[in-house]
Amino acid sequence: MRRGRRLMTSNVLEVLMPQPRSANLPLLGARTIVAVLALLLLAAAAVPAAPGSSGRSVGAESASAAADEAALGALPAPYSGGDYLLVHASVGVEGAASYLLQAAYRGIPIYGSYLSLDRPAGSEELIPRGEPRALPEAELSALNTTPSLTESEAIAMYKAELARKLGGPIGSSPVDGDVPAPKASLVIYSFGGIAHLAYETELRFTLPELGDWVGWIDAHTGLLIDEINRISGMNAIAAASASGSTSGATSVQAAAAPIGWGKGYNGAQQSFYISSEKSTGKPTIYQLIDTTRPAAIKTLDFRKPSKSKTRPEGYEYIASTAKTFADTAAVDAHVNAKRVYLFYKNRFGRNSLDDKNMDILSFVHIDSKTMRDNAVWTGWAMYYGEATGLANGGANCTSCALDLVAHEMTHAVTQYTVGLEYRGQSGALNESISDIMASVMDSDDWEIGEDTGAASRSLADPAKYGQPASMSEYVDLPVDEKHDNGGVHVNSGIPNHAAYLTALKIDNADFGLKGRDTLGRLTYVLLRDRLLSPTASFQDARDAYIVAASRLSGLTDAQKSKLASLVSAAWQAVGIGNSTNLIDN
């Protein structure tokens, strides 16, 4: 599709969904989208107008719906026999709408082939952003789209492949609790110039190592086509073996939660909610479990696996016989998890990391070669390695730095929203978004991890830690584990610096907005409204931030226009310029 082409659309979604929302919609063909919108319009006609409404008539909406049907129906098919699938739709409080479509062939989604459509508030114009990834028609026409293998067979084959790679059977110990189940879905995956019908297969496990992998298994031959390690591009840890169980009747306190105290690594006394457990004939035990909110915050000791039914996560909770806790690593992990939860809840109304009130689990005291001096989000929980100390070439602590914890937990928010793939530019954006939100939460400076004694990145000065600050310095690396999945921790310096410059330009412009706060709002809107596809490039991110500028509530049109110009200038300064007609540079 030619960039900048404008398509007409109706305001039917604005009428039906006047409050900000972000819906996960079923995958639907473009012509099905039109039919759905038409049905929604008929339903809207039966809804009486609200007092003080704009007074748009049903007849006017019908005319807009006709234009909308013509526009969506006129979307050129990406391929002969192809269509678009609706991945996501979002509508803001002021009526701006965005749609993420994925190209498909014979109903099967094509990996990495996305098209975004945006409708500004108050407009009836639908503006394409980006282009679907093109595959040669000859590749597709020769493709057998009927799989020879089932999803279960693909999962089994990928498990066998990873077992050979990692040196042991893939799975989870009985003590490891609710590790997400494997899943596989059909996609068309182009690799080495050949289109494959493949199962995109996701495996999360604790044996023989802690793992979060995605692999593409040929749906006819069962061969592994490609794969990604999604745990920060690093090797994982060995899971502890089960030992012992808790006996005796127990009861967990359900009344008002007690308050505990403890010092973190920096020596500051902190207070936090805890839970108590009483076993028959034994003293009360206090645990680092905060159940005062819909999403519980639990901190567990990785050194102490448990088979007890009262420990569904598979490990003992950090515990004390008094309401004071001396485990500094656990106190820091517990308090910082709460702080990140409250940041997203209070600032953006987000209900935990998945926006569905998932519990936040933190496992501390992981003492393995690959996890020492590290903190990682595994796809379902936080894991903190033991710190070896700055004097030994490591870090002084791993859970003590709010920005480090915020960075890792923001990977979870990204996972549950835009789902950026962890390799190449999309992987660098994944890292950058975590750095950006970490810098918004920990606003003392623009560095990441300085409280551990071993800072690793600076948004203000990427070169300080060996990162590029502009596209002229981009480091082109092979996309494999040995090279950081294509340099995701290296090239993140470029969007990081664009973000820093955005905040700086906002502050210097003096037009009623605060730079760091506005940067956080822009980034969250980008995530919430899914303005990026999973395989987004730096250019896509620049365009998405400009669209996000038009979505911020409480701003005048003049402020939105000024903000979009500043965002554009910041990205231009790092060598990423205009690719669409979203804004005039």
Q: Which phi and psi angles does 297 have, rounded to 5°?
A: -115, 115
Q: Which residues contact 508 (CB under 8 A, 6 or more apart)?
A: none
Alpha carbons 275 and 277: distance in angstroms, whole number: 7
Q: Read off the tokens for 125.
A: 């114009």
Taking residue 28's Cβ as centre, other Cβ atoms within 10 Å add up to 17
Round to whole Å and give the CA distance between 429 and 360.
Answer: 24
3-state DSSP call for residue 497? helix
Residue 489 falls in the annotated catalytic set:
yes
DSSP state of 418: T
Task: Decide if 202 is catalytic.
Answer: no
Place of tokens 């094509």: 110
Nearest-angstrom CA–CA distance, 183 and 179: 12
Return d(Cα 236, Cα 371) in angstroms, integer: 7
- Residue 438 CA to residue 451 CA, distance in Å, equals 13
What distance in Å separates the CA atoms of residue 485 and residue 301, rounded to the nearest whole number?
31
Please tell me the distance from the alpha carbon of residue 564 to that of residue 139, in angstroms, as a whole number. 40
Q: What is the dihedral of CA 554, 558, 561, 566, to 10 degrees?
A: -90
Q: In 352-436, where do the E strands start and end?
A: 360-366, 375-377, 382-385
Query: Looking at 408, 421, 447, 450, which residue is catalytic?
Result: 408
| Cα dihedral sign, 12-15-17-19 | positive
The conformation of residue 29, written as its DSSP 8-state character, comes to: B
Read off the tokens for 9. 């659309």
Amino acid 206 reads: T
Owner of token pair 């690719």: 579
Q: What is the DSSP code string of 254-280?
A: -SSPPEEEEE-TT--EEEEE-EEEEET
Specify the residue for token string 């494997």: 182
C-alpha neighbours within 13 Å on the C-beta side of residue 267:
0
**Any residues with CB less than 8 A from the CB of 59 and at least 6 apart, and which?**
none
The residue from 88, 407, 489, 497 that is catalytic is 489
Q: Which residues pair with 217 in a beta bridge?
A: 199, 224
* Token pair in block for residue 500: 């820093």
In the chain, how long is the greatest CA-to-CA distance? 75
Residue closest to 496 by CA, chosen among 431, 440, 545, 549: 431
Distance (Å) of CA 413 to CA 22, 29, 363, 528:
14, 28, 19, 9
Pairing of strands 259-263, 375-377: unpaired
Q: Distance between CA 410 and CA 391 in Å, rounded?
A: 29
Asked if residue 78 lies in contact with residue 3, where contact means CB atoms within 8 angstroms, the answer is no
Residues serving a catalytic function are 408, 489
